[in-house]
Structure 1
């Protein structure tokens, strides 16, 4: 299969790019992934319950329902969606080549495209402690900004796991809603910058639990009610009553399939030219959390998906113009 535009990824960034590209008659093909990065098609939103901060849904919307609406709108305008995972690409020449995980044909017959939009997102790191399968999204989350204002967390004690800037920021953010926030730190010091560490330690609604591992999530079978803590020095364990546990131990951008062919920062996030979606390879564009380690919100991802589609459209117009000029020059020589 050859396409003008192929979109890899199916979260808000990928689907917004698809909607814009389809309405521009670019006939985009999307590979939404099949449990790529351990997450269902639709990305991180599929692991979220109530989404209350996406415009247009004043009463809130379930994460899975929102991703279904994204998909429906993409298909309405003509996007062809493949529930398959792209495992590797070749960006060394044009057209770009992409290989599916379960390709039916021989390996030397990849899908090709003139423009590629990478919108594969970033997967939140989790500890997968005992009880996590039961209480994930039933009191456990990896995004305080996304979920912290939910009714089950309001005026309740919460615990944040992590010791970096993100952990301090999320703990501080949660104090707006929680009765108290515990910050569980594995060591006897924070990895966060001095200003963030001092701000968290000085906050009267935050208690830092030094040398502490969270080892188990416990509850009533429906919602989380406590966590088991283990002292890293003594090995002693105790239960802490909390109504929420938030991981703030980082994210992994889903870029392994690119095999280092695009420039990234030290954390593996794709680098784009400021204010654009342009990567270091002409014709390849990045959108969403795969290139955003600061905001990581559905609405910012959607915005960058729009940018990627518009940038791809302009790039393809330039390609067509160059081809016309070449044909005119060739015909003039005859």
Structure 2
């Protein structure tokens, strides 16, 4: 069946087009969607779209659906060949090695990195052993559009030998801010500018709180060998600007209007039972939070769990306003365990809109 969609492209920026059926995004049913600005204010020579992903599908019999089975309660493990733990499918037969992440912690996320031990991490579909190579000339200004299309992994991203200037997050411009590295949750996007130095440099996406990393290469010459798959540029341990501290460009900053309505939601559940929900309830299409067109809505999301979550709102962008937030315009934001995320948005897009965690295994469970 074919469908033709027609829609007005009202905002330029870096976006992610993806399925919302089951765990299909963990089978790479996604694509970058780049909307160019006909009045582009940035000056740069080249553009590099960088898509990050975590990969398990088809590796030694693993599939995203079987990984979800392993995470659900009541799926005991059996031992397969060579003493490898095997997880039973819904029908009870072994379906591949266990992908449940047993030990993990990230200081930056103040919690485990996640629940899935991915065998591979990718940049633009390539493994670190055979990385994608972006070629340019020394001195070129390069715009990187970095998209985390992963399903269960936050990435700490840095380009060896370079400082990045953040210009946009989730498609919206910010006051330019220099940083050594970025922490990018699932479905978040960052645009940065760099001035290419002369040589060969690793773009590393470290799987935050997990084992492994993704790798791509920026090259300005043809003679030198590419960095090894385990290279760790010093910039990964350098300055990281959190999203909430990025000041929105005045062209997209919300005004100081007081909210007309507050919606307060608790994030509940845990890794042991894998019973994630809002207000201790699983998803039910009959549970809605009504707001009216034209209202300024304050959305307070209280994380009552021991895990971090990237929260995403459809149909709107919001301003991060709580605690030390400075009004950054986004559509996806991280909320750490036992903290709260306070955002304001204008209800200017009538319809039924979804609010969900962008950890695919959380939302699907």
- With the length of structure 2 as denominator, give the TM-score of the two structures: 0.22
- With the length of structure 1 as denominator, give the TM-score of the two structures: 0.24
Higher Cα Rg, which structure: 1
Larger proportion of strand = 2
Larger proportion of helix = 1
Which has the higher relative contact order, 1 or 2, with Cα contacts under 8 A spaced 6 or more apart? 1
